[in-house]
A and B are shown apart, each in its own frame.
Chain A
Amino acid sequence: MKPPAFDYYRPESISEATSLLKTMDDAKILAGGQSLIPMMNMRLARPQALIDINRIQALTSINDQGESLRVGALVRHCELETNPLVQRYVPLVSQAEGFIGHTAIRSRGTIGGSLAHADPAAELPVLAVLYDWDLIVESADQTRTIPARDFFLSYFITALDPTEILTAIDIPKQNGRGHISEYAIRAGDFALAIAAVSVRLTADNLIDDVRVALGGVADVPWRDPQLEEQWRNQSASPDLWRDIAHVVSERIEPTDDLQASAAYRRQLAETLVYRALQKAYRDPDAGSTMEGSFDR
């Protein structure tokens, strides 16, 4: 479990990093290293070079832009968990952080790393899709914005070009009630399924906007905005949540693996979506529920 030799660069600026990337064929960005380094140790990833962006100060800030927060790609999980702006404007992000690995992992891992790694069973990609985050990516030649729903292509594959770096994320401020429920076998494990929901109601308790995003049930974070449209203007009630959960669970196409069968994942999805919607509706401040954990 030792990596093969690789070249190591530590640029001080984004432009230095992007010009390095431009000249190299097989370089990987090193941010928190919580997925990349184990993969290199197992020799499953063998990049020729690592570009360590940990010294680039410009990637570490969180700024209030009015409608959204702009979060630097190098912001650590623990920062997202505790930052007052994040807690105030996108509380679901803070609340979901408690599900991500363990404290040691959260003190190193970054938002950019999590999104660029694109594990479909990770929490932040699910929230990115739920709230339509915009991902800002830069190369030596251009800067562009990729909407989250176009960013994730398949397991561990994104729309990032090999010359591009994810530099920041625009996270729209939450408007409505959100909740994330997940089931992992042990605390800190990758979830078998994640359900993140957002509900906005009209004054007379009708659905103004409902969104459902799922993790762990497909090769990318799952969401179907067209499907969501059909519930607009319906009366909010547990029956509706049950209906939504059932329809969603029929729509997804999970696969079998060692930890869960497709049928089990489908049942988890239905259960978690229902519980998340019900929690968001009844207890808007709860934010997140780890199924299984309870106070002893």
Chain B
Amino acid sequence: MPETQETWIGRSVPRLEDPILIQGKGQYVSDVHLAGQWTMALVRSTHAHARIRAIHSEAATQLPGVHAVVTAQQDEKLGRPLPGMAPLSPPALAFDSVYYVGQPIVAILADNRYIAEDAADRIEIEYQPLPAVVEAQEAALDHVVLHQDFGTNVLEHFEYHSGNGRAALGQADRVITATLQMGRVSAQPMEPRGVAAHWDDVAQMLVVYDSTQSVHRAQERIAEFVGLDKNQVRVIAPEVGGGFGVKNGTYPEEALVAYLAFSLRHPIKWTGDRFEEFLATYQEREQTHHVQLGVNNDGTIVALVDTFYQDNGAFPGGGMMVAQNTARNIPGPYRIAHLALDGYTVMTNKVPQAPYRGAGRPQGHYIIERMLDRAADVIGIERIEIRRKNLVNPRDFPYATGIAGVTLDSGDYPRVYEELLAMVDVPAFRRRQQQARQEGVRLGLGIANVVEISAGFGFEGVRLQLQGDGRILMSTGATGQGQGHRTALAQIAADALAVSPDDIVVKEGDTQDIAKGVGTFGSRTIIMAGNAADRASAAFVTKAKEAAAQVLEAHVDDIRWEDGRFFVNGVPSVSLDWKALAAALDQSGAPPLRHEDYFSSQTATYGFGSHAVIVRVDEQTADIQIERYVILHDSGRVVNPLLATGQVIGGTVQGLGSALYEELIFSSDGQPLTTSFLDYRLPGAVEMPDIEVYHRDYPAPGNPAGYKGVGEAGIIPSQAIILAAVEDAFSDRSLKLDFAPITPIRLFQQLNGEKGGAQ
């Protein structure tokens, strides 16, 4: 396409999905009402680790309005391990032992949720409590082994090694040592998880409405657990109100609803509530790192050595990917010649872990960014200087970080970093900081650099079909959760098909619409489905030319496609637009015009960015306010700047929550103590600054369209940058923060040398 032609790609088209959503007309799982449906409620374990001795459910069964009280003792099939959670999967319903507070034990089916909860109250479970293990490093010692058959609490141990690894520490002028930790956090999508299912006797099909990020993977899991062929299971994700990774995997509730709807041949629905979101939706972040950074006196990094523990909760949950991804992200955008990374994914008696927005990216960056701050402080150079010293230079691209499969490929890190520093005006800030300090106000500056590694595996597809009205239906398995795919994918196809985005009807999240799909997670959809849309559109136009040739009774080689119309060469008076073509095909015996195409790639994309934050800390109250937050950010080729900027801001806000407020706290016997929004604080509009986002976009060299991921960009440096800024506010007191989030109580305790009795 010539540069001068106006394109839809690159424009801030307002979201096509918004008119419905903001009028409250969006249909979510909880808006699905199946005739005669029974509501499912679950009795969940109140112990973190216990043997189940007996379940007394008679009183519940007798309650009017209760249709079934289901346990795995009665139906052994519910005691089978859930699919898709290798190598160790929980049963749909626990029957002999429980491993975390919140694990489902009994399913109640009743007329409504009120009655179901009344019935749940009447169920008595006799437990034999067992010692709970709630700390990963201690769990790794295997004094108490959760799963005897598995034999150890260590789910996975891996080592990444490059250069001379640990031995290289000896070459460094100095070795900086630290233990750095991140607390446990919860994604808390606005819409909790939910599933509704019924057996369609006419179609001989199990229809499942599922608040999921991937309908095709849900279809596979459900078919396997229920014992049906995949083509007898249709999974539909209606509107999904946020996912952030935690609606992407195997859950007991999904298996239970689908299985019970099939086996009882009755519609069943479960809508999780906020309490269940805290007790049973997978959680993330929690890690402890023992890090050594070897540096020379000029600030050059020599080697990084890290042994770390990922608290994975009681089962694999979302798998071992988060710890691996943490390691992949530790180098960030910096040159580290020698690496030795030793990661342990460890099971404890807590809610299982699953990738949550960032999924190892924030953890990896937290380690390198915090260690750079520490090293600069020890050597006595500016924290901004040590970053300058070690950023990967564009002339080094492609730059292999030393970790298999991670090769930085595009952008200009030093240039964008310098631009950020100029924008913040660091010398002016330092003067203001000194002045404020004399007036009793503490200001602090935090700076971090980010690489966002996205996609690089699997495939995604779209299916295009010319509708009778001339509009083009585009179906994809990349099930969105509010990102705005219906707008962005329509923009991509609109350019390729020379129509307006309004003429592209994007449909996500129905296994009936497209044969295969991987789903939306890891900032992959525009990279994967976007490139698929480009490919499919090109092939679609070729097929359309053939169809137009038939309609116009010309040879296909004589069909010219221009400005969205099909012409016969030499006959300028005759042409068809999409609408006329659709009408003509409708009347003829020709097959409908459709094309399905897939894009596969093993090449990741590498977006990058530089962030700066200025905080204002009240030493007396330990309150931390954000005064300014500036982001320079590369999103590759941007389809819709409005959506891309929204993703960066949304990610940043979510990250600031886990840097300042959010922390799931468990008692020493594994009881969750933060199970409502009273105790688990999400960032609110009042607390959040106006985040300044400036795009510095470098198209990705690794895929045809040049798209990069953007969904996780904002959340990556939050914990590192906030801790850095708060330390900087107290640089005269050499404050060292080793735990995120830095809540007011933690800051008070750090400043006053008080031990963390209150966490």
Q: How far is the CB of B41 from chain A (nearest CB, A)?
A: 9
Could you tell me if A291 and B623 are in contact, using CB atoms closer than 8 angstroms?
yes
- Give complex CA distance A258, B743 in Å: 11
Q: How far is the CB of B495 from chain A (nearest CB, A)?
A: 39
Could you tell me if A2 and B113 are in contact, using CB atoms closer than 8 angstroms?
yes
Could you tell me if A186 and B622 are in contact, using CB atoms closer than 8 angstroms?
no
Could you tell me if B754 and A261 are in contact, using CB atoms closer than 8 angstroms?
yes
Cβ–Cβ < 8 Å partners of B734 in chain A: none
Q: Determine if B625 is an interface residue (Cβ-Cβ < 8 Å).
A: yes
Q: How far is the CB of A276 from chain B (nearest CB, A)?
A: 13
Contact with A along B149-166 (1 / 0, CB 8 A): 000000000000000000
Could you tell me if B622 and A258 are in contact, using CB atoms closer than 8 angstroms?
no
Provided the pairs A258-B674, A292-B618 are in contact, do residues A2 and B689 lie with their beta carbons within 8 angstroms? no
Could you tell me if B622 and A264 are in contact, using CB atoms closer than 8 angstroms?
yes
* Selected interface stretch from B100-108, B114-122, B535-543, B590-598: B114-122
Q: Determine if A259 is an interface residue (Cβ-Cβ < 8 Å).
A: yes
Q: Determine if B616 is an interface residue (Cβ-Cβ < 8 Å).
A: yes
Cβ–Cβ < 8 Å partners of A203 in chain B: none
Q: How far is the CB of A105 from chain B (nearest CB, A)?
A: 13
* Selected interface stretch from B125-133, B202-210, B403-411, B680-688: B680-688
- What count of chain B residues pass the 8 Å CB interface test? 40
Cβ–Cβ < 8 Å partners of B752 in chain A: 263, 267
- Give complex CA distance A267, B753 in Å: 14
Q: Determine if A256 is an interface residue (Cβ-Cβ < 8 Å).
A: yes
Chain B interface mostly helix, strand, loop or mixed? loop
Within the complex, which residue of B273, B673, B690, B745 is in contact with A1, where a contact is CB–CB below 8 Å?
A: B273
- Give complex CA distance A188, B678 in Å: 10
- Give complex CA distance A272, B117 in Å: 44
Closest to B678 in A: A190
Cβ–Cβ < 8 Å partners of B114 in chain A: 2-5
Cβ–Cβ < 8 Å partners of A272 in chain B: 621
Cβ–Cβ < 8 Å partners of A271 in chain B: 620-621
- Give complex CA distance A259, B748 in Å: 11
Q: How far is the CB of B587 from chain A (nearest CB, A)?
A: 56
Q: Determine if A43 is an interface residue (Cβ-Cβ < 8 Å).
A: yes
Closest to B690 in A: A296
Cβ–Cβ < 8 Å partners of A43 in chain B: 117, 121
Chain A interface mostly helix, strand, loop or mixed? loop
Question: Which residues, 264 to 296 on A, are CB-close (under 8 Å) to B?
Answer: 264, 267-268, 271-272, 291-294, 296
Could you tell me if A1 and B275 are in contact, using CB atoms closer than 8 angstroms?
yes
Question: Which residues, 280 to 311 on B, are CB-close (under 8 Å) to A?
Answer: none
Question: Which residues, 678 to 706 on B, are CB-close (under 8 Å) to A?
Answer: 678-679, 681, 683-684, 686-687, 689-690
Closest to B625 in A: A292
Cβ–Cβ < 8 Å partners of A183 in chain B: 621, 623, 744
Could you tell me if B687 and A256 are in contact, using CB atoms closer than 8 angstroms?
no
- Give complex CA distance A42, B114 in Å: 12
Could you tell me if A192 and B673 are in contact, using CB atoms closer than 8 angstroms?
no
26 A-B pairs with C-beta separation under 8 A: A1-B274, A2-B117, A5-B118, A43-B121, A183-B744, A186-B661, A186-B687, A187-B686, A189-B681, A256-B757, A258-B665, A258-B673, A258-B758, A258-B759, A260-B744, A260-B758, A261-B749, A263-B754, A264-B749, A264-B754, A267-B620, A267-B748, A268-B620, A293-B625, A296-B627, A296-B689
User: A interface vs B, CB < 8 Å?
Assistant: 1-5, 42-43, 183, 185-190, 192, 256-261, 263-264, 267-268, 271-272, 291-294, 296
Apart from A189-B681, A271-B620: 9 A-B pairs, beta carbons within 8 A? A1-B117, A5-B114, A185-B661, A258-B665, A260-B748, A261-B745, A271-B621, A291-B623, A292-B618
User: B interface vs A, CB < 8 Å?
Assistant: 113-114, 117-118, 121, 273-275, 616, 618, 620-623, 625, 627, 661, 665, 673-674, 676, 678-679, 681, 683-684, 686-687, 689-690, 743-745, 748-749, 752, 754, 757-759
